[in-house]
Amino acid sequence: MKFAFFGSSLVSAYWNGAATYYRGLIRQLHLRGHEVTFYEPDAFERQQHRDLDDPDWARVVVYPAHDEQGVRAVLREAADADVIIKNSGVGIFDALLEAAVLDLRAPARTVIFWDVDAPATLDRLRTDADDPLRRHIPDYDLVLTYGGGTPVVRGYEQEFHARRCVPIYNALDPETHFPVDPEPRFEADLSFLGNRLPDREARVAAFFFSAAHEGLRHRFLLGGNGWQDHPLPDNVRYVGHVYTRDHNAFNCSARAVLNISRESMVRCGYSPATRLFEAAGAGACLITDAWEGIEQFLAPGEEVLVAHSGEEVVGLLDELSPERAERIGTNALARVTREHTYARRAAELEAVLEGRDLPA
């Protein structure tokens, strides 16, 4: 099949948390014999912060960020695809694209809305009765999400009348995320990698910064965009944007790696972030904030440690020996390699498109 994706960016992870998801899934689609074109805007300085050359497993088309005619041109080009996908959060001409891809529907063509931040999208739709996406959802052949479980499926199908909604969860690409030797520049007792976003900042304060204030005896490492003007405790070191080529070293160099979900993802549950699988794939010992559904992906206490507060984060660190940290990381790596890879997700996507049951 020929796939056309309209997404934020395939070639840059700069302010683009969906990059890992797109890359892992699309590469597997290519390996399964499909042809993929990814259309992305030249926006938000992503092309200036590329961390991936144009791959041989997808064709990348970059269109102007402020030229509606340029958008119309790539839409016309995409019209010969078998599957046309409008991803959420492109950031440029989203409303235009959400409506225009529906004009490309045909009996032999599937048009999909693929939500890479379903909890936030549903929050937006519930609070804005005039959001144009509300009236388009029933017209898509399918809604896919990268997380959310039953609450998200129910929201799309029952509240907004999607024909069908199916989660295709985040996962591991073992070709890009794997154990490496630690690097001194990323050494810490606890590290956290995440961009500063309104929907996450309060939880970062609760789980990371409060833990740093409470656990002055521990060394903390912070990576991601936007934190440069945030007051930092003396035991927190900030390294700024961490390119994807350095994610494995970042995850392998601390005694434990912290996962902090955004507020909307916690409320929905069943929304594992890409960083969860990146860290597990590197064999890191993960400490995650508590959210419903974690056990579907990693077993608490055996493959991941779960905290309900910054104080609990510090308590887990206090009791975490290097030996136990290594054991938890090894268990997590085995679990995600066995059950949560993008090869498996690509097979799930094929099953959905072909009307088959998802593979067990």
What does pTM read for this prediction? 0.92
pLDDT for 360 equals 63
The stretch 136-163 carries a mean pLDDT of 96
pLDDT for 37 equals 98
- Percent over 70 (pLDDT), the chain: 100
Task: Give me Rg for the CA atoms of the chain.
Answer: 20
9: which residues sit within 8 A by CB, 6+ positions away? 16, 19, 22, 40, 46
The burial class, CB within 10 Å (0-12 / 13-18 / 19+), for 68 is exposed
Instruction: Please report, as a single letter, which amino acid is at residue 192.
Output: F
Q: Is the pLDDT of residue 357 over 80?
A: no
Token couple for 209: 């910064």
Alpha-carbon span 153 to 162, nearest angstrom = 9
pLDDT tens digits along 79-137: 999 999 999 999 999 999 999 999 999 999 999 999 999 988 999 999 999 999 999 99
Average pLDDT along the chain = 95
Alpha-carbon span 119 to 108, nearest angstrom = 31
Q: Which residue segments constitute the domains of the chain, with CATH numbers given?
A: 2-171+341-353 (3.40.50.2000), 184-339 (3.40.50.2000)
Confidence of residue 318 (pLDDT cuts 50, 70, 90): very high
Which neighbouring-strand residues pair with 20? none
316: which residues sit within 8 A by CB, 6+ positions away? 256, 287, 305, 307
